[in-house]
Amino acid sequence: MILPIIVRRCLLGAGAERPFALTGAGNGVDSAKRAGVIDLHCHILPGLDDGSRDLEDSVAMARQAAADGITKVCATPHIRHDHDVRIEEVADRVEAVNARLREEGIAVEILGGGEVAETAVEPLSEEELARVALGGGGWILLEPAPGPLSDTLIRRVGHLANHGHRALIAHPERHLSADMFERMAALVAEGALIQATADFFLREEMEAGMLTMAEAGLVHVLSSDAHSSRGGRPLRLTPAFERLGAAETLAPRIEWMAETAPAAIIAGAPLELPFQPSL
């Protein structure tokens, strides 16, 4: 399948903030916002990888989240060979940010996690996998290797399953190929879910391809993948859910994507897919 251009450049600046407006019955976005949504992919821990520069930056990111109705954010520092992230230190770093947010009266909770490169996942011990699971719920945010999605990624999904974990595939829209949709569907068939970057639905050069991917049943959750309050993608989800909810075929899925699936992922609760890939 030759798909529309999805990503021309991944690290563009943040778009203009748009007000939350959808209120139509059945689209699920307004109820999810009231309940508070969860961002499963965010580089909010300060001075650790290529994310937040310092604690003040982390606080500013949390303010962005609170303004968008996000109540929980999974801290997902890069677990890969080009970043010196010590898994055993992540929990203390998460608590340090939470302590500051409590002092500031910001009603956002940071949860543990990690963005685990597929090339780094197999050597991790059982204890390390548990430490980087999203919110402690057993799901691993798995980052594909550079280039098109490959058979090795499916093998790593199987490796995690053999160790009692399910995989959430991070931003596969960055890994373009003619058979990308088919490869994503194969990952879903192996028990993985797909995380797409929220801000890409709002960019003119990416919107059509991202919507095509979602309409094919290949998007299960949205995340910010924010790295800083000072540039790049903002820590917000609502405008992207608003855009998805405006599509008649996608509106019935929004509540599950925005609230049900993320809540089940961080809780390690059973999660059944309400829709399947349709290529």
Residue 14 is assigned to a structural domain of this protein: no
Q: Which of 10-14, 97-101, 249-253, 266-270 has the lowest mean pLDDT?
A: 10-14
Residue 16 is assigned to a structural domain of this protein: no
Whose tokens are 């563009």? That residue is 12
What's the confidence (pLDDT) of residue 158?
A: 98
What's the confidence (pLDDT) of residue 36?
A: 72
Residue 259 is assigned to a structural domain of this protein: yes
Of 43, 88, 57, 95, which Cα lies nearest the Cα of 224? 43
Number of structural domains, the chain? 1
CATH number of domain containing 192: 3.20.20.140
Longest Cα–Cα distance of the chain, Å, equals: 51
What range defines the domain where residue 173 resides?
A: 29-266
Residue 279 is assigned to a structural domain of this protein: no
What's the confidence (pLDDT) of residue 103?
A: 98
Which amino acid belongs to residue 192? A
Burial class, 26, CB count within 10 angstroms (exposed 0-12 / middle 13-18 / buried 19+): exposed
Residue 21 is assigned to a structural domain of this protein: no
Residue 272 is assigned to a structural domain of this protein: no
Whose tokens are 């903030």? That residue is 17
Q: Sign (positive/negative) of CA torsion 132, 135, 139, 144?
A: negative
C-alpha to C-alpha distances, 210 to 19, 206, 235, nearest whole angstrom: 21, 6, 19
Residue 182 pLDDT > 70: yes
State the alpha helices, DSSP H only, in the chain. 29-35, 55-67, 90-104, 126-132, 151-162, 180-189, 204-215, 238-245, 254-255, 261-267
The residues facing 222 across adjacent strands are 196
Q: Please compute Rg for the chain using Cα positions.
A: 17
Q: Sign (positive/negative) of CA torsion 105, 23, 242, 215?
A: positive
Residue 20 is assigned to a structural domain of this protein: no
Instruction: Give the mean model confidence (pLDDT) for residues 245-273.
Output: 96
What's the confidence (pLDDT) of residue 6?
A: 53
Residue 2 pLDDT > 60: no
For 23-72, write each residue's pLDDT tens digit.
333 334 443 344 578 999 999 999 999 999 999 999 999 999 999 999 99
What's the confidence (pLDDT) of residue 7?
A: 45
For 110-161, write each residue's pLDDT tens digit.
999 999 999 999 999 999 999 999 999 999 999 999 999 999 999 999 999 9
Residue 9 is assigned to a structural domain of this protein: no
For 198-226, write each residue's pLDDT tens digit.
999 999 999 999 999 999 999 999 999 99
Whose tokens are 């190929």? That residue is 177
Q: How confident is the model at residue 178 (pLDDT cuts 50, 70, 90)?
A: very high
